[in-house]
């Protein structure tokens, strides 16, 4: 990041506001030019001068992840190994740009490659992406680019299994499975209803259609929950448009409410189509990092499978974020064992 930018744009605007107020007390007037000068310090103007400032990792193994890094000229794709503390370019950007130009006849810059929906295999030997409406497979080691003509039934708002053969998605409050080889769909749960559906991604202040779940490493089980919004108050928004407005209503707990979202943790055996409920009381809709049980990327927070898929570890967080319990669950029986507890006077954040 450029060293000249020492203060964030928000801080600069705050300083400007205080300075303006102090001057107004002395009889000075804030003019339109003053506001225009302050506006130039907002992120929309300053972001072009900031690069290498954030990392949003996409994990492909226990120690390796890739991310997009902003540069002075555009962006680059980086592979990082947390175990060896090493980072490098994921692939040769110039070579891939040349291959794309040869196949499409379009001009591509090595610093502005449009790799939509990028997926990298664990061995780092190949990756899939779409560009200009065409799906591609790029073999990194061999520097070979080809159109992806394999059957593709994957749809948005779904979570693919580790072996890449199937994906889970929500339909009418229940969890379903889609076979990616032929597109066949199978219902996994049957008792999901409105305000008590499976894998629901809704924290009130944010909500998405994609499910919140974690596949086991062997792709045979799914750790998720039944999202309990019964008794939770609603939030309303009305559009401002010509003609009749449209009402949007959804469950949204407020700080003073006695009831917030709860999650009833379950493990689903994909092959047997059985739901094993963990033998514990429902958890509050919380994680150790936020008032949501999903991360920014939609992953199930504070949940991890053992490498052999025989044990599930997770953390239960109290509503006020003061009490944490680390637990282990047997996915076959639903038995839960408390391993460690921690309580803070203020709040806990991992």
Residue 198's CATH number: 2.140.10.30
Residue 306 — pLDDT band, cuts 50, 70, 90? very high
**Is the same domain home to 184 and 141?**
no
The answer to whether the beta carbons of residues 220 and 271 sit under 8 Å apart is yes
**Is the same domain home to 72 and 221?**
no
**Is the same domain home to 141 and 191?**
no
List strands edge to edge, sheet with 134-139: 116-120, 126-131, 134-139, 144-147
Let me know if residue 267 belongs to a domain.
yes
Q: Which two tokens stand for residue 196?
A: 């008590």
pLDDT average, residue stretch 74-79: 92
Dump pLDDT digits (tens) for 162-218.
Answer: 888 899 999 999 999 999 888 899 999 999 999 999 999 999 999 999 999 999 999
User: Which of 114, 147, 180 is the last residue in one of the domains?
Assistant: 147
Dihedral, CA atoms, 197, 252, 212, 121, nearest 10 degrees?
150
pLDDT average, residue stretch 65-71: 91
Checking if the pLDDT of 229 tops 80, the result is yes
Q: What is the DSSP letter of 49?
A: G
Let me know if residue 263 belongs to a domain.
yes
**Is the same domain home to 143 and 164?**
no
What is the Rg, in whole angstroms, of the alpha carbon atoms belonging to the chain? Answer: 24
What was the pLDDT predicted at 150?
Answer: 67
**Is the same domain home to 193 and 311?**
yes
What was the pLDDT predicted at 51?
Answer: 78
**Is the same domain home to 20 and 124?**
no
User: Which of 112, 147, 182 is the last residue in one of the domains?
Assistant: 147
What was the pLDDT predicted at 127?
Answer: 92
**Is the same domain home to 142 and 163?**
no
Out of 17-26, 147-156, 268-277, 313-322, which region has the weakest mean confidence (pLDDT)?
Answer: 17-26
What was the pLDDT predicted at 336?
Answer: 98
Q: What is the DSSP letter of 335?
A: -
The per-residue pLDDT of the chain, averaged, comes to 88
User: Which of 147, 167, 201 is the last residue in one of the domains?
Assistant: 147
d(CA 116, CA 114): 6
Strand residue runs (E) in 132-215: 134-139, 144-147, 158-160, 166-171, 174-179, 185-187, 196-198, 201-202, 207-208, 214-215
pLDDT average, residue stretch 319-331: 97
Let me know if residue 2 belongs to a domain.
no
**Is the same domain home to 134 and 174?**
no
Let me know if residue 217 belongs to a domain.
yes
Residue 58 or 223, more confident: 223
Checking if the pLDDT of 70 tops 90, the result is no
pLDDT average, residue stretch 235-256: 93
**Is the same domain home to 162 and 143?**
no
Let me know if residue 4 belongs to a domain.
no
Let me know if residue 152 belongs to a domain.
no
Checking if the pLDDT of 45 tops 70, the result is yes
Residue 117 or 77, more confident: 77
**Is the same domain home to 130 and 173?**
no
d(CA 224, CA 204): 18
Dump pLDDT digits (tens) for 117-143.
Answer: 898 988 888 898 988 878 899 999 999
Dump pLDDT digits (tens) for 247-300.
Answer: 999 999 999 999 999 999 999 999 999 999 999 999 999 999 999 999 887 899
Checking if the pLDDT of 11 tops 70, the result is no
pLDDT average, residue stretch 46-60: 81
DSSP per-residue codes, 214-234: EE-TTSSEEEEEEEE-TT--E
**Percent share of the chain, pLDDT over 70:** 91
**Percent share of the chain, pLDDT over 90:** 64
**Is the same domain home to 37 and 122?**
no
Domain total for the chain? 3
What was the pLDDT predicted at 2?
Answer: 41
**Is the same domain home to 43 and 62?**
no
178-193 CB burial, b ≥16 within 10 A, e <16? bebeeeeeeebbeebe
Let me know if residue 201 belongs to a domain.
yes
What was the pLDDT predicted at 151?
Answer: 60
d(CA 275, CA 108): 49
Let me know if 96 is exposed, middle or buried by CB neighbors in 10 A (0-12, 13-18, 19+): buried
d(CA 213, CA 330): 17
Q: Which two tokens stand for residue 5?
A: 């930018």
What was the pLDDT predicted at 21?
Answer: 52
Let me know if residue 278 belongs to a domain.
yes
Domain that holds residue 141: 58-147
């Amino acid at each position: 990041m450029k060293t000249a930018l020492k203060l964030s744009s928000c801080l600069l605007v705050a300083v400007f506001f205080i300075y303006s107020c102090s001057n107004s007390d002395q009889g000075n007037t804030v003019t339109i030019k003053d506001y225009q000068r302050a506006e130039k310090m907002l992120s929309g103007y300053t972001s072009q001068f900031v690069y290498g400032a954030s990392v949003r990792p996409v994990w492909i193994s226990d120690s390796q992840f890739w991310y997009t890094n902003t540069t002075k000229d555009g962006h680059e794709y980086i592979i990082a190994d947390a175990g060896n503390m090493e980072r490098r370019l994921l692939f040769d950007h110039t070579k891939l740009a040349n291959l794309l130009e040869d196949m499409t006849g379009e001009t591509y810059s090595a610093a502005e490659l449009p790799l939509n929906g990028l997926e990298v295999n664990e061995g780092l030997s190949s990756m899939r992406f779409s560009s200009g409406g065409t799906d591609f497979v790029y073999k990194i080691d061999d520097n070979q680019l080809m159109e992806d003509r394999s059957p593709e039934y994957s749809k948005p708002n779904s979570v693919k299994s580790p072996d890449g053969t199937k994906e889970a998605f929500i339909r009418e409050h229940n969890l379903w499975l889609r076979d990616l080889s032929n597109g066949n769909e199978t219902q996994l749960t049957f008792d999901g209803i409105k305000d008590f559906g499976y894998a629901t991604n809704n924290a009130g202040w944010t909500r998405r259609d994609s499910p919140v779940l974690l596949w086991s490493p062997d792709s045979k089980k799914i750790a998720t929950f039944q999202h309990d919004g019964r008794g939770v108050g609603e939030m309303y928004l009305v559009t401002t448009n010509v003609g009749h407005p449209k009402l949007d209503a959804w469950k949204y707990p407020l700080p003073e409410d006695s009831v917030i979202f709860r999650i009833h943790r379950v493990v689903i055996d994909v092959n047997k189509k059985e739901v094993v409920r963990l033998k514990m009381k429902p958890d509050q809709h919380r994680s150790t990092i936020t008032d949501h049980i999903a991360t920014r990327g939609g992953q199930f927070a504070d949940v991890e499978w053992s490498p052999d898929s025989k044990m599930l570890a997770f953390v239960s967080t109290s509503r006020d974020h003061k009490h944490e319990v680390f637990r282990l669950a047997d996915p076959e029986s639903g038995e839960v064992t408390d391993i460690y507890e921690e309580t803070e006077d203020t709040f806990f954040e991992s």
